[in-house]
Homo-oligomer: A and B are copies of this chain.
Amino acid sequence: MLSLFSHPSGSTAPHGYSSHGGTHVPQNSAAMFEEDLLGQRARGFSLGHAAAGLMSTPQTFPFAGFPMHPAHDPMGFAGQNNQFGGFHMSPHDHKRMMPPSGRDQRDSKIKITLENRDLWQKFHSLGTEMIITKTGRRMFPTFKVTLEGLDPHAKYILLMDIVPLDDCRYKYHNSEWVVTGKAEPHMPGRLYIHPDSPASGAHWMKQPVPFHKLKLTNNNLDQNGHIILNSMHKYQPRIHVVQANDIFTMRWNSFNTYIFDETVFIAVTAYQNEQITQLKIDHNPFAKGFRDNGMGRRDHRLHLKRPLISLDSSHDGKDYEKEEAVRQSKIIKREHDDSGLGHSMTKQHNGSQSEHATSTTRDSDGESKQAASRGDELPSCQVAGKSRSGISPIMSGQKGRSPPLGRGSLGLSSQCQYLPQSASPYLQGASSPSCDQVYYPHHSATTAGNMAAMQMANTGLLQQTTVGSSLLNSASSALSLSHMGQQMGACQLAGQNSACALAQGSTSGSGAYGLPGSGNQGSLSSCTYMQSSQPYPSHLSMNLTSHFPNPMA
Contacts and interface: CB of A to CB of B under 8 A. Distances in A.
Given A142-B294, A321-B325, A325-B321, A315 B37 contact: no
A322 interface: yes
A34 B37 CA distance: 48
A289 interface: yes
Interface residues of A, number: 46
Interface in A247-302: 285-286, 288-290, 292-297, 302
Nearest to A325: B325
Interface in A296-349: 296-297, 302-303, 311-315, 319-329
A207 B297 contact: yes
Given A196-B314, A322-B325, A324-B321, A210 B295 contact: yes
Contact of A302 (B37, B199, B285, B288): B37
A550 interface: yes
B314 A296 contact: no
A477 to B, nearest CB: 13
B550 A297 contact: no
Nearest to A311: B37
A371 interface: no
A442 interface: no
A324 B195 CA distance: 26
A182 interface: no
Contacts of A210: 293-297
Given A315-B206, A325-B326, A294 B38 contact: no
A386 to B, nearest CB: 33
A174 interface: no
A281 B372 CA distance: 50
Nearest to A204: B315
A319 B314 contact: no
A328 B319 contact: yes
A466 to B, nearest CB: 30
Given A285-B286, A286-B286, A312-B550, A328 B296 contact: yes
A203 B315 contact: yes
A437 to B, nearest CB: 33
A290 B294 CA distance: 21
B324 A296 contact: yes
A134 interface: no
Contacts of A549: 292, 314
Given A196-B314, A210-B297, A321-B328, A38 B286 contact: no
A101 interface: no
Contacts of A206: 315
Nearest to A320: B321
A288 B285 CA distance: 10
Interface string A191-213: 00001100100010011101011
A314 B158 CA distance: 15
12 contacts: A199-B313, A210-B297, A285-B285, A285-B321, A296-B324, A314-B550, A319-B324, A321-B321, A321-B322, A321-B324, A324-B324, A325-B325
Given A142-B294, A314-B550, A324-B324, 15 more contacts: A37-B302, A38-B303, A195-B314, A199-B313, A207-B297, A208-B296, A210-B294, A285-B288, A292-B549, A296-B324, A319-B324, A319-B328, A322-B324, A322-B329, A325-B326
